[in-house]
């Protein structure tokens, strides 16, 4: 047995698998794409850390024992703070996120873990938004949340916080993805908003271990999670260098729909959003525009699946498949497949299993 795996087996934690995933999440960010490839291939997390470490130059080796110790400390802090670690192999890990190229090995969640697997739309935009942008973001979020759509955003000032508040007024569910630990709310003035999100069935989420302070490099990284949790990303007021455009690029890379609200052409705060519209993003004036793009009926009440439902046909009883495999079996793109799987799951016809896989009930 390798030194790292041996040390894991000697820890005081009863869930070695959970500890291994947390240790994996603490490895250098430069490993993330290779980590994901090996997770998708079914390799165990402890073995991944061991293998990736041996591939590093001697001066960049990872101290396995220190990594394990930090992982144990992170789990202890999470327990004390009421934060739930949701690992890659956990059936509660959101299937939509597991399908992206570089999913986090662990999500740290305050609040309702199930909120991460609802049909979601991200609403992001300028931190220095105009009153028009704030009003539009809040209204669209409220209208979508009232129809059962989970609103995902980043708890930042401006459009993000307006979207969260709109969802809460519906009343509905919203998820905030942080660029800090789930117990370190940034900006600090949004602590009460974070409590409201958690108290109304939503969630505060981070890939960073509890206690991690906000740092500039974390915010672009968290944007892939915002888009990865969502079926579509809506941009409200984005300048040419807006961070929300990073989320839009992530969404396009992940096969998500990108939509944008048109704004004042005399203001530079809309140039990024208008560029997306010129490149083919869907123009949004109401929640119905978004629901139409998602292929959802206005009533949000679908009928019972027909006996020849292609998704159910692609899921033989007794077997489980990941999103890519189901897409190949059904001929449906992942973007069109996800809402169908969520609908079938709500009807008790499909269930999620570990590693972002689905099985027919």
For residues 162 and 216, membership in a common domain is answered with: yes
Q: Residue 351: count other Cβ atoms within 10 Å of its Cβ.
A: 14
For residues 268 and 323, membership in a common domain is answered with: no
Edge to edge, the sheet with strand 350-353 lists 320-322, 357-360, 350-353
Residues 216-241 have pLDDT tens digits of 999 999 999 999 999 999 999 987 77
Residues 23-80 have pLDDT tens digits of 999 988 878 888 889 988 888 888 887 887 777 665 566 677 788 889 999 999 999 9
* Predicted structure pTM score: 0.80
* Residue 344 · residue 323 · CB < 8 Å: no
For residues 141 and 63, membership in a common domain is answered with: no
For the chain, the domain total comes to: 3
Residues 142-170 have pLDDT tens digits of 999 999 999 999 999 999 999 999 999 99
Task: Provide mean pLDDT across the span 253-282.
Answer: 84
For residue 297, the model assigns a pLDDT of 64
User: Does residue 31 fall inside a structural domain?
Assistant: yes
Q: What is the CATH number of the domain that holds 212?
A: 3.40.50.450
Distance CA 353, CA 58 (A): 39
Rounded to whole angstroms, what are the CA distances from 283 to 279, 288, 296, 358? 11, 11, 17, 33
pLDDT band at 304 (very low <50, low <70, confident <90, very high): very low
Q: Which residues contact 10 (CB under 8 A, 6 or more apart)?
A: none
For residues 287 and 315, membership in a common domain is answered with: no
Q: Write out the residue range of the structural domain in which residue 348 sits.
A: 310-360
Last residue of a domain, one of 240, 259, 293: 293
User: Does residue 228 fall inside a structural domain?
Assistant: yes
Distance CA 118, CA 34 (A): 28
Q: Crossing angle of helices 244-253/218-228, nearest 10°?
A: 50
């Amino acid at each position: 047995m390798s030194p790292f795996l041996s040390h894991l087996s000697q820890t005081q934690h009863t869930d070695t698998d959970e500890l291994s995933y947390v240790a994996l999440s603490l490895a250098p960010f430069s490993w993330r794409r290779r980590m994901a490839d090996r997770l998708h291939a079914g390799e165990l997390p402890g073995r991944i850390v061991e293998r990736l470490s041996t591939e590093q130059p001697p001066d960049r080796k990872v101290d396995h024992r220190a990594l394990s110790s930090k992982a144990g400390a992170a789990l202890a802090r999470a327990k004390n703070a009421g934060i739930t670690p949701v690992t890659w192999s956990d059936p509660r890990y959101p299937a939509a996120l597991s399908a992206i190229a570089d999913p986090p090995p662990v999500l740290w969640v305050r609040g309702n873990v199930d909120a991460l697997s609802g049909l979601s739309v991200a609403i992001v935009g300028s931190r220095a938004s105009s009153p028009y942008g704030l009003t539009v973001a809040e209204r669209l979020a409220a209208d979508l949340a009232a129809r059962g759509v989970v609103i995902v955003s980043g708890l930042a000032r401006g459009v993000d916080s307006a979207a969260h508040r709109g969802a809460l007024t519906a009343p509905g569910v919203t998820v905030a993805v942080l660029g800090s630990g789930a117990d370190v709310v940034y900006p600090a003035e949004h602590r009460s908003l974070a409590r409201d999100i958690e108290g109304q069935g939503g969630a505060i989420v981070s890939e960073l271990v509890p206690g991690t302070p906000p740092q500039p490099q974390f915010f672009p990284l968290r944007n892939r999670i915002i888009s990865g949790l969502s079926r579509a990303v809506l941009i409200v007021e984005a300048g040419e260098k807006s961070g929300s455009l990073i989320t839009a690029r992530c969404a396009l890379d992940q096969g998500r729909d990108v939509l944008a609200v048109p704004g004042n052409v005399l203001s530079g705060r809309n140039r990024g959003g208008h560029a997306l519209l010129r490149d083919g993003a869907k123009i949004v004036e109401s929640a119905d525009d978004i629901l139409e793009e998602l292929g959802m009926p206005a009533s949000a009440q679908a009928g019972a699946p027909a006996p020849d439902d292609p998704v159910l046909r692609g899921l033989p009883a007794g077997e489980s498949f990941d999103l890519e495999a189901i897409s190949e079996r059904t001929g449906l793109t992942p973007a069109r497949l996800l809402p169908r799987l969520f609908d079938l799951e709500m009807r008790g016809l499909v269930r999620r299993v570990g590693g972002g896989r689905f099985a027919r009930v």
